[in-house]
Structures are given as C-alpha cells and as structure tokens.
C-alpha cells in the first residue's frame, strides 16, 4: 500500500516537472524558430488577461503532451521492452509520440474552431498557417524530448540495477565462500583438535579393555564422524538423512564420553529426511549446548532434536549454566545464520529463556 502510494506521488511529481519543462521549452523553441516575428515584439503589449489565458492553455497543452508521452512510454515498457528489440521500440515510440501530438493539436484546433468563428482564418492566412506549423513542430520536438528523457532515465536505471545486482551477486559469492571456508575450518579444527582426539582415543582404549565389541563399535562410529567431515565439509547442502547418520555416530561418541550426564531425544519425521540443510549444522548446535552447560549424572543435560510443523528442525537444550562462564563468541550460530542467509529465504530462529535454549532450523527443498 505504502509502495503504491509512493509510486503515485513520484509519478505525479514527474508529471508536474515535465509539464513545466514542456511549457518553458515551448516558448523557447517557438521564439528560436522566428525571433523577429512581430508577434514577439508586441507580446507584452497585449492585455494581461489575454496573456494569462494563453499561458493557461499552453500549460494545459504541454501537460497533455507530457501525459501522453509518459503513458506511451509506460505502455511500451510492458508490451515492447527495450531489451528485446531496441530499434523497433525506438521506431514505435517515436511514431506513437508524433501521432499523439498531431491528434492532440488537431483536437485543440477543433475546439478552437467550435469556440471561435475562425473557420475562414484557420488555414487561410499564411501567417496563421506558419504559426500552426510552428506549434506542431515544437510540440513534436517537445514530445520526442520527453521520450528521450524517459528513455535515458529508464536505461540508466536499468544499468544501475544491473550493476547493483552484479555487485550483490559478487558479495553473496564472497560471503558464501567465507561461510563455507569457516565451516570447513571448523571441521578441520574438530579433526585436528588434540582434546577431541585424545578424549575419544582414551575412551576407546578403556572400552577395548572392558568390552571388545563395544570398543569396536566405538571405533566404527569414530571413523564415521571423521569420514563425514572429510567428505561433506565443502558441500553447501546435504540431506537430513545423511546428517542424521552422522549425528547418530556423533551422539554415540558423546554418550560414551559423558555417560549419563547427557541425554538425547531424537524425533524426526520420515517425510523430512529428503530435505536439505547445511552440513554439520546439528553438530555445531549440540557442541554449542555442551560448551555452555554442565552435564552431570545427577542433573543430565537434555538435548532434543525433533521435526517441526513447517519443514524445520528444532534443536533445544536445557539450561544448566557453568559456574565459571566464559564469554561466548557465537561463531557457530553466526556461521549457521550466515549460510542460511545465502542458501535460503528462511532464517534460523533462536528462542531462549532461563530454562531452555532452542534453535529452529529451516529445512531446504533442493
């Protein structure tokens, strides 16, 4: 509504400016065609009311020419765009402007004929004929000038829009590359993090001593996590089904490291498994939950991953704050938000209070 009102105001302002421009140009060009005409020498010797009436009629005529030129230009933008056939568009717009001016002047002459008894003078006197031809010539020139102004404005605007789109495309590509690089670095960091490797190897060595089968399963899931990171860290999107396979292996490692201090609840709609999301999104959210909360056997950290009603995943966790809380950089959440900004028209939604923290992740159709 506001946009339509703004466009209407802009159109009215443009019309007023063009009508005033046409009015001034009409007298300038008419004078330039025959500056020594006796009509100009006696111009201001006439009655003031006659001059005002003439100016009013001239302004009305110029306004009609401006309206006609604007309407032709806007109509042709819909029917015959410049981009498709520029030469044909130029010829058609020129012919329509000339025809509209001839029609407008002829209509005005008919009105003058009906209002005044000029039937014998309308085309009989040479001076009168010359004046009418000057009127027609100047009016056509004004119409074509307005058309040229519109065309120039239209082409410049299109050029600016094309330049802005190209700039935005380059910027998005750069942002996308940056986000992908950050995600890849995050994956590499996880791969090379000595604490992550040491902790998992320590758990693995203990499990092998206690239960060889469980140790074997742990090693299998450990390799699945690393294989996923190596194969998918460079991708833009991955299916939820593949992400959940990775998450299952990742959760297996976490549960055996944290014991009963962490509890996962997974509830995924099977219809959502073919939808997509950026790789490692769930891992980043779970890692974020574990980084900022305690997980104790007496009070386990609860992390839930479930399907929402609008093709989305909702990852939430209970709040069990650390006694010594480190300042959060929010890099993980920023990375996820930035990648969604480039890949989808939907964005993650964060909800938080004193009891839980939740992130709604849109699933993308691809």
- Contacts of residue 245, defined as CB under 8 A and 6 or more positions apart, other chains included, come to 224, 228
- Enumerate domains of the chain plus CATH numbers: 2-171 (no CATH), 193-362 (3.30.565)
pLDDT at 117: 47
pLDDT at 241: 93
- Measured CA to CA, the distance from residue 88 to residue 237 in angstroms comes to 46
pLDDT at 192: 42
- Tell me if 233 sits within 8 A of 187, measured CB to CB: yes
pLDDT at 34: 72
Tens-binned pLDDT, residue by residue, of the chain (366 aa): 554 565 555 667 777 777 777 778 777 777 777 777 676 777 777 788 877 887 887 788 778 877 888 788 888 888 887 777 778 888 888 888 788 877 877 777 676 666 654 444 444 445 555 666 777 777 777 777 777 777 777 777 777 777 777 777 777 776 666 666 566 555 544 544 555 666 777 777 777 778 888 888 888 888 888 888 778 877 778 999 999 999 999 888 888 877 788 899 999 999 999 999 988 888 888 888 888 888 888 889 999 999 988 889 999 999 988 877 665 556 668 778 877 877 788 889 999 888 899 999 999 987
Torsion-angle region of 330 (φ positive above 0: left; ψ -120 to 50: alpha; else: beta): left
pLDDT at 116: 58
pTM tops 0.85, yes or no: no
DSSP result, 176-200: HHHHHHHHHHHHHHHHH-HHHHHHH
- Tell me if 20 sits within 8 A of 55, measured CB to CB: no
Tokens representing residue 333 in the block:
């959440």
- Tell me if 73 sits within 8 A of 45, measured CB to CB: no
203 closest CA partner among 256, 150, 161 = 256
């Amino acid at each position: 509504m506001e946009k339509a009102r703004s466009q209407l105001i802009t159109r009215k302002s443009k019309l007023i400016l063009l009508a005033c421009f046409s009015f001034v140009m009409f007298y300038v060009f008419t004078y330039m065609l025959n500056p020594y005409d006796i009509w100009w020498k006696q111009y201001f010797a006439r009655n003031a009311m006659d001059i005002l009436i003439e100016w009013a009629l001239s302004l009305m005529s110029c306004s009609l020419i401006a309206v006609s030129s604007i309407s032709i230009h806007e109509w042709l933008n819909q029917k015959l765009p410049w981009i498709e056939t520029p030469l044909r568009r130029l010829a058609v717009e020129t012919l329509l402007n000339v025809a509209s001016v001839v029609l407008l002047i002829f209509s005005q002459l008919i009105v003058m004929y009906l209002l005044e008894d000029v039937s014998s003078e309308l085309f009989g006197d040479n001076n009168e004929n010359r004046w009418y031809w000057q009127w027609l010539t100047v009016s056509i020139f004004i119409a074509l000038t307005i058309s040229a102004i519109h065309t120039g404005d239209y082409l410049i605007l299109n050029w600016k829009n094309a330049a802005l789109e190209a700039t935005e495309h380059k910027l998005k590509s750069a942002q996308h590359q940056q986000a992908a690089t950050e995600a890849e670095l995050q994956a590499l960091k996880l791969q090379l993090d000595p604490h992550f490797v040491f902790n998992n190897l320590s758990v693995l060595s203990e499990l092998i001593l206690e239960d060889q089968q469980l140790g074997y399963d742990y090693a299998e899931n450990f390799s699945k996590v690393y294989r996923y990171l190596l194969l998918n860290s460079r991708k833009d999107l991955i299916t939820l089904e593949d992400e959940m396979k990775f998450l299952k292996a990742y959760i297996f490692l976490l549960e055996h490291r944290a014991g009963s201090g962490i509890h996962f609840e997974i509830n995924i709609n099977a219809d959502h498994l073919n939808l997509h999301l950026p790789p490692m999104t769930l891992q980043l959210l779970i890692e974020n939950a574990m980084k900022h909360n305690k997980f104790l056997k007496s009070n386990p950290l609860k992390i839930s991953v479930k399907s929402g009603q609008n093709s989305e995943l909702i990852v939430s966790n209970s709040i069990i704050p650390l006694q010594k809380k480190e300042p959060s950089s929010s890099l993980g959440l920023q990375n996820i938000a930035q990648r969604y900004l480039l890949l989808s028209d939907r964005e993650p939604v964060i909800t938080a209070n004193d009891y839980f923290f939740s992130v709604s992740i849109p699933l993308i159709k691809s």
